[in-house]
Amino acid sequence: MPVFKKFAALTLALAFGLAAPAAATDLDNLSAAERAAFRAEVRAYLLENPQVLMEAIAVLEQQQAEAELNRDSVAVAANADALFGSAFDVVVGNPAGDITIVEFMDYRCSFCRRAHPEVMDLINFDGNIRLIIKEFPILGEQSVLASRFAVATRLALGDEAYFAVHDALMNMRGDMSIPAFEALATSLDLDGAAIIAAMNDPLVQTTIDYNYALGQELAITGTPSFVFGDQMVRGYVPLEGMQQIVAMLRENAN
């Protein structure tokens, strides 16, 4: 049902009671005179009872939110292998944790940077969470270059070096460029030349493209985006909010 008709039906139901005859809410079968009378009656009622408008909007928003949650849950289930079992990703925290979190991130995303220390606090304080990092550069050429450098670090030097670079890139200021990456590698006592050479490995772009395709399947358009267990969580969530989500997942699992 189009949004206007759904909203009109909800408004009419709230205005005249849910027990109103079905024909009274069938907007397609009203005559011109009936339609004009209907509009006049609804307008008069809403002017006298403006709170009804907010009630109708709240009902509509709740229905839309429930529909989105259902779509997300179906999408997560359909893409579970790519989300939770991909060989392209680095796992942080407890590999055998009872809760798995997947994070789609971009190194130039201010909210990803804000979330990063809180995500790590969550992992470290909890001790029983498995975090999967998805490189998802969507904020321009420098974002892509940074992700290519991070993925190349993993290919050349392994997971531990990757996470050191990941953490450093999340805290990096200024332009993200090859000279800046070389300086970063030196500061971490890593072989910058080996990493830069690995950026030309086709598997680097394959990794990023794989995450782009997965993000499209999940309708991810911004960063950070998370999957907590079987739930999509879009956007920045403070530490306390993440702890509440984890607690709820554990409670529902028992």
Q: Where are the domains of the chain?
A: 3-76, 81-253
For domain 81-253, the CATH architecture is 3-Layer(aba) Sandwich (3.40)
- Residue 253's pLDDT band (boundaries 50, 70, 90)? confident
> What string of H, E and C letters represents the secondary structure of 104-140?
EECCCCHHHHHHHHHHHHHHHHHCCEEEEEEECCCCC
Q: Which residue has the higher pLDDT, 49 or 124?
A: 124
Q: What is the pLDDT of residues 88-140, one digit of tens each?
A: 999 999 999 999 999 999 999 999 999 999 999 999 999 999 999 999 999 99
- Tell me the CA end-to-end span of the chain in Å, nearest whole number: 38
Whether the pLDDT of residue 22 is over 90: the answer is no
65-92: pLDDT as tens digits: 666 667 888 899 999 999 999 999 999 9
Could you tell me what percent of the chain has a pLDDT over 70?
85
Q: What is the pLDDT of residue 23?
A: 44
Contacts 24+ apart (CB under 8 A), 141-144: 142/108, 142/175, 142/176, 142/177, 143/106, 143/107, 143/108, 143/109, 143/176, 144/208
- Listed range (57-61, 112-116, 148-152, 179-183) with the worst mean pLDDT: 57-61
What percent of the chain has a predicted confidence (pLDDT) above 90?
68
Whole-number pLDDT of residue 12:
52
Encoded tokens for 5:
């008709």
Identify the pLDDT of residue 26.
64
Average pLDDT over residues 22-36: 68
Question: Which pLDDT score, from 0 to 100, does residue 44 have?
Answer: 83
- Per-residue pLDDT of 204-246, as tens digits, reads 999 999 999 999 999 999 999 999 988 899 999 999 999 999 9
Rounded to the nearest integer, the mean pLDDT of the chain is: 87
| Alpha-carbon distances of 54 from 21, 27, 57, 171, 188, rounded to whole Å | 23, 21, 5, 43, 55
Nearest-10 Cα torsion for 26, 29, 33, 36 = 40
User: Is 60 exceeded by the pLDDT of residue 32?
Assistant: yes
- Calculate mean pLDDT across residues 166-191: 96
Distance, CA of 250 to CA of 254 (rounded, Å): 7
Q: How far is CA 107 from CA 43, 79, 184, 230, in A?
A: 50, 24, 14, 25
